[in-house]
Chains A and B, each alone.
Chain A
Amino acid sequence: MIRFVLRRLLQSVPLLAGIVVVSFLFMRLAPGGPFDEERALDPVVRANLEARYGLDRPLLEQLWLYVKGVARGDLGPSFKYGGWQVREIIAQALPVSLMVGLVALASSLLIGIPLGVVGALRHNQWPDYAAMSLALVGICVPNFVLGPLLIILFVFQLGWLPVGGFGSFEQLLLPGLTLGAIRGAYIARLMRAGLLEIIGQDFVRTARAKGLSERVVVAKHALRLAILPVVSYLGPAIASILVGSVVVERIFSIPGLGSFFVNSALNRDYTLAMGTVLLYSGMLIGLNLLVDVLYGVLDPRVELE
C-alpha cells in the first residue's frame, strides 16, 4: 500500500506542474492586468509597480521564477492585497472553508442516514415516500435557492439563527445545511438501498428469530453493514463540498477561500488566482487518493497494487 501511495504521489507532481504552467499562461492571456483600473496610473507609477512585481521581465522568465517559488513553497505576494502573501491569505481562508465543509458533511450525514433508515424500514409506505420525496427535492433545489429560503425562514421569520458571517458555531449551521442538503439527499438514497438489501439477508432473519427487538436488529446488526456504501461516498462528497462552497460562502458572507478563488481571477490577481487553483487541484488529487486508499481498507476485494 505504501508503494501505491508513493507512486500516486509521484504521478501527481507532473500533473501539478502542468496545472501551474497552464493556469499561468491562461491568466496572462486574459486581456487586462492587475493594475488596470478606472483611474489610470501615471506611466512612471505604472512602471514602478510592474518592476516591483517583476511584470517587466520576459514572460518565460516570470514563469520560471514563479515555478521556482512554488517549488520552495512560496506562492508570492498578492497583487491585489498589498502586504499579504498568498500563503497567508490561504492560511486564513482555508480553515474557514474546511469548517463550513465539515459542518456540511455532518449535516448531510445527520439528514441522510435517518431518512434512508426510515425509508428502508417503512418500505413502500408513506414514511418511505415522504423521505424519498424530500431527498428528491434536496437533489433538485440548487443551493443558491435553498440558502436564501433558509435565511428567510430561520433568520427573518423565526429569528433562531444568525444570518451569516463567521465566528460562532450557530453561524455555520445554515451554510452547512445549505451545502450539505444535496449530499444528504444522496446519502439518504444510498442508505435506503443499502439497508433494504441487508434486511433481506439471512443473518437478519436469524437475529429476528432469536427474538431480538426490531431496534436491536436494525441498530446492531443491519446498520453496520448497510452504511458501507455511504462511507465510500464520503470521499467524493468531501471533495465536492470543498470545491463547491463558492456560492454558499457568498450567500452567507463567509470569509472562506471561495470568494478569493473567484475574485482573484476577475481582479487579475495572478499569484492569488494561481495559488488557489493549485491548492484546489492539490486537494482534489489528495482526496481522490484518500478515497482509493479507503476502498482498499474497507473492501478486501479491492487490491491497491
Chain B
Amino acid sequence: MDRRPRRAAATLAPLLGLVAALLTGCALDDERADFSYLNLEPETIDPGRVSGEAGGRIALNVFEGLTYRHYATLEIRPGMARRWEVSPDGRTYVFHLRPAQWSDGTPVSSRDFQYAWTRLLDPRTGAKYANILHPLENARAFNAGEIDDPGALGMDCPDDSTFVVRLTAPVAYFLDLCAFYPLLPVPRWVVEARGDAWIRPDTIVSNGAYVVEDWQINRRIRLRRNPRYWNVESVQLELVDAVPGDYLNGNFNRYMSGVLDWIDSSGIPLSIVDTLKDRPDFHTSPHFNTFFYRFNVTRPPLDDVRVRRALYHAVDPVPIVEHVLRAGQPPAHSLVPPGLPGYEEVRLEGFQPERARELLAEAGYPNGVGFPEVTLLFNTSEAHKQVAEVIQQQWKRVLGIQVRLQNQEWKVFMNTVRSLDYDIGRGGWIGDYLDPNTFLDCFVSGSGNNRTGFASASYDSLIQRAAVTMNRTERMALLRRCEEIVTREACIILPVYYYVVTNMFDATRWGGLRPNLINIVDLKSVYRKDRPS
C-alpha cells in the first residue's frame, strides 16, 4: 500500500550518513594543549603583513627578531642578535647574529633579515607597517616604487652573521622597532616557493620558540615548541592553543569553565567587572592606550581655542571611570600615558568649572548663550555611548550648552572623522613602540592620524628636531614640549582616561604571565607553577 514512509526513510538515510561522515571528518585528535589563551583571529601571522595585536602576538612567538622585549620589565633584550654596535651619529647599526637555525634546520643568516626588510618595503607586498622602516636609507622611495633596486636600501650583509643597517637620520627607538613584529625575519625559500600561503601550518618555517602546528580559521592556532629554537631549554610549554572568539560573553564562559587559561579584555564583560575585580585571578595594569576626544579645529565654534579649553575644563573624568568603566581606568591628565621610563608626561589641570565658564564667556558665549549646536560623534559601542552621555550632561550642567550625540558604525565613523566631517569625535591611540613619539607624531600637519585639521609648522619642526636629537634628555624635553602644544596650548584633543589591560588567569597555577603596557604574551616565559617542569 504506502511506500511513502519508506521513501521518507530513504531520503533521511543519506542525511544521517552525512552526519556520520561529517562527525568523523571533523573530529579532532584532541590532545589537550598545555596552555590555551584567548587571541582574536589574526588577519595574518606573516610578519611582513601583520598589523594588529592578534597577529602580532602569534608572530612574536613564532619568529624571533634581532631583539625582543621582556614581558614584565619591557626592556629590550638580545634576540637573534647576540650584540650590536651603534655609530656615534646614531645612524649605523651593526648587529652580530648568534648561531641559530630555522625550524627546517637551515641556519639563520643576516640575509634573512635583509630579505624580510626588503620584502616589507616592496610595494607588491602591500605591508601596512612598511612606514616603520622608512627611516632606512632610500626606503621611502623604494616603498613608493620610485626606486627599483633593493640594493640601494641601507642594509648590508658582510657575512652570514653580521647585519649592517644605515638610517637617514638617527631613530632613538630603533632597537624597540627591531623587537616589533614587522621587522621579524622570514624564510625566503619558503615565501618564494609558496607565495601568500607560506604561513600555513604545512609549509611555514620559523625561527622562534614555537612552530605553527595547526591553524583552523576562527577555531584555533596550535603552536608546538620548536626543538630547533636556540634557547629551547628555557621554553617550558610544549603545546599551546591560541583560541579566537569575537563574542565577549562566550569567551568569558570558556574561561570560567576551564577551556581557556588566560583571557584579556576581549573576554571580560563590562557589566560584571565590579564582581570580577575582587577575584584573585583578575589582574590589571596600565595600557599604553589613551581614550580622548578630538576637536575639528576647522569648524566654528571649535576653531576658537577658548571654546576647546572651556569644553576640556568642563569635563570631570572621575565619575566616568568610577561609575561607567569601573575596571580601574585612571582619569587622564595627558595624551601620552604615564609609565614611560625617562619621560614625564604633561599634567593638565583637569576639571575646573569656573575656568571653563570664564573661557566660554571670553569666547562670546556667556552661560552658553548663543552657542551653536555641535555634535559629539562616536563609533557604536555601549561603553562609548555611556561615556558620551556623561560628558554631554557635564557640558550642559557646567557650561549650559546642548551637545548632540551621534554614533556611527566603525567604518563609517572612520570615514567621517578622516574627512573632517564632524565637530567632536571619539579617538583612541595605542602606542606602537615605547616612546612618546608614537602618540605625538600623529598630530604632525597632514598626518593621516591627525584628523583634527590642526597644522602647525612649529609643531612639525619640533617633532623633526626630536627625531634627530641623540641626547635622550634633550629629546624627551622636545617631545614634552610637543605634548604641551597639542594638549594645554592648542587643546586639539581632550584626554578622558587611560585604558587598562585586564587579564584573567590563575596566578597560583601560571608563572611568566603579567598584564603589561603593550599587552604582549611571551609564551617562552610561561610555565606551570603547580607541576614540576
Answer yes or no: A32 CB below 8 A from chain B CBs: yes
Complex: A148 Cα to B7 Cα, angstroms: 38
B254 near A164 with CB under 8 A, answer: yes
Identify the stretch in A13-21, A35-43, A67-75 within 8 Å (CB) of chain B at 4 or more residues: A35-43
Answer yes or no: A268 CB below 8 A from chain B CBs: yes
- Which residues of chain B are near A31, meaning CB under 8 Å? 411-412, 415-416
For window 153-190 of chain A, which residues contact chain B by CB distance below 8 Å? 155-156, 162-169
Contact for B7 among A40, A169, A297, CB less than 8 A: A297
Identify the stretch in A4-12, A81-89, A210-218, A281-289 within 8 Å (CB) of chain B at 4 or more residues: A81-89
Contact for B257 among A33, A99, A156, CB less than 8 A: A156
Interface bits A105-116 vs B (CB < 8 Å: 1, else 0): 110000000000
How far, in Å, is B482 (CB) from chain A's closest CB?
A: 19
Answer yes or no: B216 CB below 8 A from chain A CBs: yes
The bracket for how many chain B residues form the interface is 35 or more
A155 near B253 with CB under 8 A, answer: yes
Identify the stretch in A57-65, A121-129, A132-140, A248-256 within 8 Å (CB) of chain B at 4 or more residues: A248-256
Closest-by-CB residue of B relative to A151 is B253
**Provided the pairs A42-B448, A164-B254 are in contact, do residues A82 and B196 lie with their beta carbons within 8 angstroms?**
yes
A33 near B411 with CB under 8 A, answer: yes
Complex: A270 Cα to B415 Cα, angstroms: 16
A250 near B246 with CB under 8 A, answer: yes
B22 near A95 with CB under 8 A, answer: yes
- Which residues of chain A are near B198, meaning CB under 8 Å? 83
Answer yes or no: B18 CB below 8 A from chain A CBs: yes
B250 near A228 with CB under 8 A, answer: no
Interface bits A247-265 vs B (CB < 8 Å: 1, else 0): 0001111010001100100
Answer yes or no: A209 CB below 8 A from chain B CBs: no
Answer yes or no: A149 CB below 8 A from chain B CBs: no
A259 near B23 with CB under 8 A, answer: no
Complex: A260 Cα to B249 Cα, angstroms: 18
For window 415-467 of chain B, which residues contact chain A by CB distance below 8 Å? 415-416, 418, 428-429, 432, 447-449, 451
Closest-by-CB residue of A relative to B22 is A99
Answer yes or no: A30 CB below 8 A from chain B CBs: yes
Contact for B26 among A39, A95, A228, CB less than 8 A: A95
**Provided the pairs A95-B25, A266-B411 are in contact, do residues A259 and B246 lie with their beta carbons within 8 angstroms?**
yes
Answer yes or no: B528 CB below 8 A from chain A CBs: no
Interface bits A80-105 vs B (CB < 8 Å: 1, else 0): 11111000110011011011001101
Contact for B43 among A41, A82, A102, A105, CB less than 8 A: A82
Answer yes or no: A45 CB below 8 A from chain B CBs: yes
**Count of chain A residues near B, Cβ 8 A:** 71
- Which residues of chain A are near B89, meaning CB under 8 Å? none
Complex: A35 Cα to B26 Cα, angstroms: 34
- Which residues of chain B are near A83, meaning CB under 8 Å? 44, 46, 49, 196-200
A167 near B44 with CB under 8 A, answer: no
For window 379-426 of chain B, which residues contact chain A by CB distance below 8 Å? 409-416, 418
Interface residues of B (CB under 8 A from A): 2, 4-5, 7-8, 11, 15, 18-19, 22-23, 25-28, 30, 41, 43-44, 46, 49, 51, 123-131, 134, 140, 143-145, 196-200, 216-219, 243-247, 249-251, 253-254, 256-257, 259, 409-416, 418, 428-429, 432, 447-449, 451
Q: What are 19 residue pairs bridging A and B, where the CB atoms are less than 8 Å apart in the complex?
A: A33-B415, A38-B429, A40-B418, A44-B130, A44-B144, A45-B131, A51-B126, A81-B43, A83-B197, A92-B216, A99-B26, A102-B18, A103-B19, A148-B249, A151-B253, A168-B30, A225-B5, A252-B250, A255-B217
Apart from A48-B130, A93-B217: 20 A-B pairs, beta carbons within 8 A = A32-B410, A32-B414, A36-B415, A41-B448, A42-B448, A45-B127, A45-B143, A48-B124, A82-B44, A82-B46, A83-B44, A92-B219, A93-B218, A102-B19, A156-B256, A166-B26, A166-B219, A259-B218, A266-B410, A266-B411
